[in-house]
Amino acid sequence: MGMFEGKVALVTGAASGIGAATAQRFAQEGAAVIVVDMNRDGAEAVAELIRASGAQAHGVSADISRAEDNTAMVRAAIDTFGALDVAYLNAGAYAQLSFEEHDEATFDRMVAINLKGAYLGLKAVQPALSRGGAAVVTASTSGVIGLSVAAAYSAAKHGVIGLVRSASQAFAASGARVNAICPGPVATAILGVEGVPTITPADTLETVPYAGMLSPQHIAELALFLASPRSGGINGQYMIADAGFLASYPPMPQ
């Protein structure tokens, strides 16, 4: 039996990259998966890929910056599979601009998707999660340090970490947990790697070279850990996965 046998998992931003990898891994571990993305066709394609493997999945389109869409995706989980045990709020957006190039519209968009979207997602899933359930949110190493080429994105991700820490008591009161992941460079669309990642047996994942690029599955495995009873003592924390990029200064010579 898998780690999530008989459980229901919801994953946002699941049409590609980290979200698609995590949705597939939840399914491999026995979960029925609600595959959520603004890209309806992409969400359904990943859901169909999961169903083709013999697992259960349902594709849902949602704009996470809208409260009603967050409510609807949680309702879809309960209406389709009868419960919600895990929510991985991974969806986000990125804008690479110097501080001088940033404008109000860019700032508002980064906050609406990356911070408000996380807030609305947590508000929607917290009362619906089963006891012993967990929410995981994708933050960023840019939420731990500044990012001169993406100030609005970095500011929003700093907010995500504060939000997760602040929500931890409310989640604990209902018998659940919430934590964040701060990825470093990952082979996703932000870095020009498009599409649905291929999944390999978890125990065969290679160690990433110092400050190297992680695969989406490296983050997916951490998300599964934080969503599982194996991390039952961890709540309100953020975990950095960046192959040592922020660990020490100066960087190791390449």
Q: How far apart are CA 83 and CA 60, in angstroms?
A: 16
Amino acid found at 241: A
Q: Tokens in use for 74?
A: 């949680």
Q: How far apart are CA 51 and CA 49, in angstroms?
A: 6
Is 153 one of the annotated active-site residues of the chain?
A: yes
Amino acid found at 167: A
Provide the CB-side half-sphere exposure for 122 (13 A, CA).
Answer: 29
List the catalytic residue out of 88, 94, 119, 153.
153
User: Which residue in this structure is represented by tokens 């929003």?
Assistant: 156
Q: Which helix (H) or strand (E) holds 87?
A: strand 86-89
Decide: 74 and 123 in contact? Cβ < 8 Å.
no
Decide: 20 and 26 in contact? Cβ < 8 Å.
no
User: Which residue in this structure is represented by tokens 């990259």?
Assistant: 17
Backbone dihedral angles phi then psi of residue 103, each to the nearest 5 degrees = -125, 175
Helix/strand/coil for 194: coil
Q: How far apart are CA 25 and CA 22, in angstroms?
A: 5
| Surface-to-core class of residue 229, CB atoms within 10 Å of its CB (0-12 exposed, 13-18 middle, 19+ buried) | exposed
State the catalytic residues: 153
